[in-house]
Structure 1
Amino acid sequence: MKLNAQGTNQAPEEACDFGDEQKFWDRWGWMVAGVWIIFLVFPILDLLVEDYPLPTRIIGLSLVVLFAAIYLGAYAKYSWIVGQGGTDQRRAHVYFLMLCAIIVIGVPVTGLTVMGLFPFITSYAAFLLTKKWTITTYATVLVACFALPVYFGKFTDAIFLIGLNIVLMVVYVITVAAITRSTDAERIRADFLVVAEQERVARDVHDGIGHSLTALNLKAQLALRLMDEKQYLQARGELVQLSELAVDALDSVRTTVQGLNRQDLDIELAELQHACNDNNLEFTVAGTAEQIPLQHRSHVAWILREAVTNVLRHAHASTVVLHIEPGQVSIDDDGDGCQGNSPGHGIRGMQERARQFDASCTVGASRLGGTSVQVVFDAKEAR
């Protein structure tokens, strides 16, 4: 059997491991900054309510708007770094220094009102910059929180802002630690999955290819003995079987390699359709790949490929029907069936693969008269 999986048809391999979490931060990480924008209400209300000259209000509000724009823009660009230990990129530092410059400019214009901007630069440093920058920023803000009220002679009026800044700095540290811990856990999990996949390949090589090579060696030795005894007809028969074993071993190698590289379930379904057409086998699909959770599609693709491989090799079937539903996948054929045989390497491999994503894989009689392979996982997760 040959599945005709050409390298040119492979889908580009996505950054995996904790890719889903990374995509979340790439797309929605700026919301971490957006949440804290609410604290701009303090300097805005102060500028609107207090008795400031009109030019001061205009300049102050303009500075606040510019501050918010730079802050959100920086997060939109660097949200991917959240939980990754911060960045040393020059532009990130430029954005940060621009925010600090606006605060410095705002001190003679609005006085203690600029303290309402301190939580933004501390969050920026904690989430986006390295630990050295964070420590320096925290120390500077702590000094400023006490020095400015003393300088303007309004320490009592600034107690709330002092307490707010200190509390938020603690919250930022705890939040960053939690995100970093989660990211580290995902990285460890990704490493574990890589090791598990390596172990699976080792099992495939040992159980499949190792067995085939042993059989090839025995057949070759037998053919040589028969030739020495001038039993050429029997020797030719052994060589024919040796050739068939070599083809099976090559198929096993292809299956192992495809199990490492296949990522896209849609492409896998197209390859299976092509393979069945080449072997005059009717292949029908009810459902779409989108009904399978993204994190399960690679596993499901591997199981389907193995199931169809078994059909093409052993079942003598004319029809294969694949049903894809939220929470389960089943594949039925009208071939010879299991015929009471004990589970072979292919079935064990499918069941082991299913266990890797907390699913079950059962093999039994099909309503079409042949074999049915059913994979069941969490329907809630699928929705």
Structure 2
Amino acid sequence: MANHPEHCAGSIYSAKSWVWLVFSLWYFFPVYYMPMTPFGKTLLVGAYLLFVSLYLWAITLNAQQVWKPILGISLLALAITPYTPGSGTFFSYVGFLVGFSYRTKIWLAVTAFLTFMIIGMHFYFKYPLPYFAFPALSGLITIGIIGYVEKLRLEARISQQKSYQEIEQLAVIAERERIARDLHDILGHTLSSIALKAELAEKLLSQEKHEQVQQHLSELHQIARNSLSLVRQTVSGYKHRGLSGEVMELCEKLRQKGFLVDLQGDIPQLTPRAETALILALTELTTNVLRHSNGNHCQIEFSQQGDKILVSMRDNGEVKTLVPGNGLQGIQERLYALMGDLQSSVNKGCEFIISLPRNELQQQGS
């Protein structure tokens, strides 16, 4: 029905939690087999509207505050039971809220108390078994179990995401240490050699040994050029892992945030300039999905159509309008420089289609 782990600071119930209210219409079923006065029907409708208000309030609260609507729904069911056995429907929602919001001992204790209360009301008001006690108890217990299991599942998912984040942080730290170690190995010896050569050249110059000074300066020049070339080679390895590696990394980021990712088509080999532009574009689009989409599915597709290379990215978030910001404008500018384009549309989610000219393809082994 909803998402509401106890340790979270605010409510993270699903935006569609109100849909589950459709099952509460069973509350009106006794109208078809029990005679009711106009006052009784008015009371029935009024109690139902109050229940809906309490439920909608509950799905906005965290676990520290949700006891208030839970208590309200329970008292409402107790008050309306003398007029209709349909009040048993309310206990299904109470069961889920308690099972999802609280830990095992509290959930079991509250469920046991409500069970005895339902049985007591059943015998006190002398309702036939199928009309009150059975639906009330079955809903309280079974839906409560569903809520409890859903809470455990969500807690496990949050714990897994935290583990992924910790792994990412450790990977970043390890990468920084590797870069620092590489730069130290590359530049430490080189700068020491340069300092030594410069010191020798200075001493020889003071002794007017110009030929030896010229030799040291030539060696100094060669050391500097070799070091510059080595630094460039090292830094180029840090820039990115190629289009395939970056796409896989973006897919993993989406999966870690709860998205089901569908990667289709063959990732093409592009020229370095086109590859960099496409990596930056997909990174920006992925960031937009993670920040603004409330969906749970994303599709990335590579294809070729005529003289164009197409890359589409779709998600199933609920978006009515799309207002391009600086990020999308930056993508457009980079693609225009390559004679490419970016098209966007909104239809049961956002869809972005990147097109590049086919001449940006890089042949295998070239």
TM-score where L is the length of structure 2: 0.54
Q: Deviations over 1:243-282 (max 9, x none)?
A: 99699979989x98999xxxxx9xxxxxxxxxxxxxxx99
**From 162, 175, 179, the counterpart of 1:187:** 162
> Is 1:48–1:57's contact at 8 Å kept on the other side of the alignment?
no
Superposition deviation, residue 117 in structure 1 = 0.3
- Quick one: distance in 2 between partners of 1:216 and 1:56? 92
- Quick one: distance in 2 between partners of 1:250 and 1:53? 88
Higher relative contact order (Cα pairs below 8 Å, separated by 6+ residues): 1
**From 325, 332, 338, the counterpart of 2:311:** 325
- The secondary structure found in structure 2 opposite 1:29 is coil
**From 152, 157, 175, the counterpart of 2:125:** 152
Letter in 2 for 1:128: S
> Is 2:30–2:86's contact at 8 Å kept on the other side of the alignment?
yes
Provide closer, same or farther for how the CA distance between residues 62 and 159 of structure 1 changes in structure 2, counting only shifts above 3 A: closer
Structure 1 window deviating more from structure 2 (234-243 vs 36-45): it is: 234-243
**From 184, 189, 203, the counterpart of 1:228:** 203
- The secondary structure found in structure 2 opposite 1:325 is strand
- Quick one: distance in 2 between partners of 1:214 and 1:285? 36
**From 69, 92, 95, the counterpart of 2:69:** 95
Q: Deviations over 1:1-41 (max 9, x none)?
A: xxxxxxxxxxxxxxxxxxxxx9xx95x7143x335323312
In the alignment, which residue of structure 1 is the partner of 2:14?
29
- Quick one: distance in 1 between partners of 2:276 and 2:39? 73
> Is 2:95–2:139's contact at 8 Å kept on the other side of the alignment?
no
Quick check: which one's helix share is greater?
1
> Is 1:96–1:121's contact at 8 Å kept on the other side of the alignment?
yes
Letter in 2 for 1:289: A
Letter in 2 for 1:216: L
Superposition deviation, residue 127 in structure 1 = 2.3
Provide closer, same or farther for how the CA distance between residues 285 and 168 of structure 1 changes in structure 2, counting only shifts above 3 A: closer
What RMSD over aligned residues (CA atoms) do the two structures have, in Å? 4.9
**From 44, 50, 62, the counterpart of 2:28:** 44
Superposition deviation, residue 174 in structure 1 = 2.1
Superposition deviation, residue 184 in structure 1 = 1.8
What is the aligned length?
Answer: 258
Q: Deviations over 1:61-109 (max 9, x none)?
A: 121122113312431x24xx6xxxxx32x4x333333333322332344
Provide runs of 4+ in structure 1 moved above 4 Å.
Answer: 129-133, 231-237, 239-253, 255-259, 281-288, 290-293, 295-298, 367-374
- The secondary structure found in structure 2 opposite 1:50 is coil
Provide closer, same or farther for how the CA distance between residues 369 and 54 of structure 1 changes in structure 2, counting only shifts above 3 A: closer
Provide closer, same or farther for how the CA distance between residues 119 and 222 of structure 1 changes in structure 2, counting only shifts above 3 A: same
**From 113, 122, 125, the counterpart of 2:98:** 125
1:212 is aligned to 2:211: no
Superposition deviation, residue 200 in structure 1 = 2.0
> Is 2:91–2:139's contact at 8 Å kept on the other side of the alignment?
no
TM-score where L is the length of structure 1: 0.52
- Quick one: distance in 2 between partners of 1:169 and 1:205? 54
**From 285, 294, 315, the counterpart of 2:286:** 294
Q: Deviations over 1:31-55 (max 9, x none)?
A: 3x33532331221222465212211
Superposition deviation, residue 242 in structure 1 = 5.5
**From 162, 166, 172, the counterpart of 1:197:** 172
- Quick one: distance in 2 between partners of 1:239 and 1:50? 102
Runs of 5+ unmatched residues, structure 1: 1-21, 82-86, 260-264, 266-280, 299-322, 332-366, 375-383
Superposition deviation, residue 324 in structure 1 = 7.4
Matches within 5 A, 1:359-374: none
- Quick one: distance in 2 between partners of 1:369 and 1:124? 56
In the alignment, which residue of structure 2 is the partner of 1:18?
none
- Quick one: distance in 1 between partners of 2:199 and 2:67? 75
- The secondary structure found in structure 2 opposite 1:52 is coil
- The secondary structure found in structure 2 opposite 1:166 is helix
- Quick one: distance in 2 between partners of 1:52 and 1:61? 12
Runs of 5+ unmatched residues, structure 2: 1-7, 206-211, 242-249, 251-272, 291-308, 314-333, 335-358
- Quick one: distance in 1 between partners of 2:188 and 2:96? 61
